Amino acid sequence: MELIAIGVQDHTDAVRDRLACKVRMLCDKGIEVDMTERSAGPLTFLCFHLHDTGRGIPAGQRDLVRYHVASALADAIVCDVAKEFVARTVRERYPYFDGAEQEKIIACAAAALARQGGGGDGCAGGADRDETSRAFTRRRSDVLFKVLDYLDTSSCLVLDGFVRFRLKGFVEELREAADAAVDDYMIEREYNEFIRLLKYFVDIQEPKIDEVHVVVRPGGLFRLLDSAGKVVDNDYLEGLTPEFVETDVDYEDLLMSALISVSPRRIVLHLGRGEGAAETVRRVFEGRVSVCPGCHLCEAQHTKARLPATGRTDQN
């Protein structure tokens, strides 16, 4: 008897392979099920049959086959359909990006989907990979339960229509991931253009000082020191109070302006924090930057950072 028929148009090979794997697994468990194909217009129907050996078909076998078909479809939707949908969304909604840019955005969208739930992308560390796995499991479980609910009342499921009409929340999640990836890509592109502009200003200037040390004062304020430990005069960092860090002004931009204005031959970073600023400095002053492994300047700022607020008397 035909138990279930799955209609597929755009992902036939991937869905067939996933379902065939389930058929082999069920047969290994002693359940006599097979999968046949028939065509109806643009659709290919993958049909599942349970064989009656003469003693009737146990109800549990029907439920087991239904579950494993739903499981294979959930995998196909979350992996194959989702990937193709995001790619198509990017290409249709953002045709003004060239092919290479679109591929970067698609990859960024895939990473954004993986991060949902607090995780990271596939290159992240162990804890982030755990969160990524939970995000995938949550998304797959949502889809699986919806497929099972549908197959409880219908023996025929057309995949594309099911995704479009029964998984609207899932589709919207994919669309939002594509849009967010475009935003992330634009921010990254603007940042890279900003770096190129700063590098241009650095390259056209003659160095005005041999060496500058970048340290962090209490309250998060940056300070520039020369090789003798004296404060380097500049109009960007000196005279600011710790409260300035809480304003809308980008304090790291002021650090970059101060460094460009003195144009040092060498820069030594004693940051300890502010990794974003360190990365920007390294990119703009490429080949001139080193990170201090630890010295009296680093120890001094760590000691001040550990002092209670009432004990911090040196704000300069």
216 and 151, same domain (yes or no): no
Question: Residue 213 domain-assigned?
Answer: yes
For residues 147 and 14, what is the distance between their CA atoms, to the nearest angstrom?
17
Output the domain CATH number for residue 294. 3.30.420
List all residues 6 or more positions away from 226 whose beta carbon is below 8 Å from its beta carbon: 209, 211, 212, 213, 232
How much is the pLDDT for 250?
64
The string of pLDDT tens digits covering residues 122-166 is 334 444 556 667 878 889 999 999 999 999 999 999 999 999 999
Cross-strand pairs, 269: 214, 291
- pLDDT level of residue 274 (50, 70, 90 thresholds): low
Domain boundary residue, one of 169, 195, 221? 195
**Which residue range forms the structural domain that includes residue 164?**
2-195
Residue 78 lies in a domain: yes
Of 195, 222, 255, the residue that ends a domain is: 195
pLDDT at 94 over 60: yes
Decide: pTM greater than 0.95.
no
What confidence score (pLDDT) does residue 96 get? 95
Angstrom distance (rounded) from CA 74 to CA 148: 10
Core vs surface per residue 214-241: b (16+ CB within 10 A) or e = bbbbbbebbbbbbeeeeebebebbeebe
Please tell me whether residues 22 and 52 are part of one structural domain.
yes
Domain count, the chain: 2
148 and 269 part of one domain: no
Average pLDDT, the chain: 84
Average pLDDT over residues 75-85: 94
Given 143, 172, 195, the domain boundary residue is 195
DSSP 264-300: EEEEEEE-SS-HHHHHHHHHHTTTTEEE-S--HHHHH
- Are 170 and 229 members of one domain? no
Q: Same structural domain for residues 116 and 157?
A: yes
pLDDT at 316: 43
Rounded CA Rg of the chain: 30
Specify if 316 maps to a domain.
Answer: no
SS3 at position 156: strand
Q: Could you tell me if 26 and 103 lie in one domain?
A: yes
- The tens digit of pLDDT for each residue in 174-227 reads 999 999 999 999 999 999 999 999 999 999 989 989 999 998 877 667 889 998
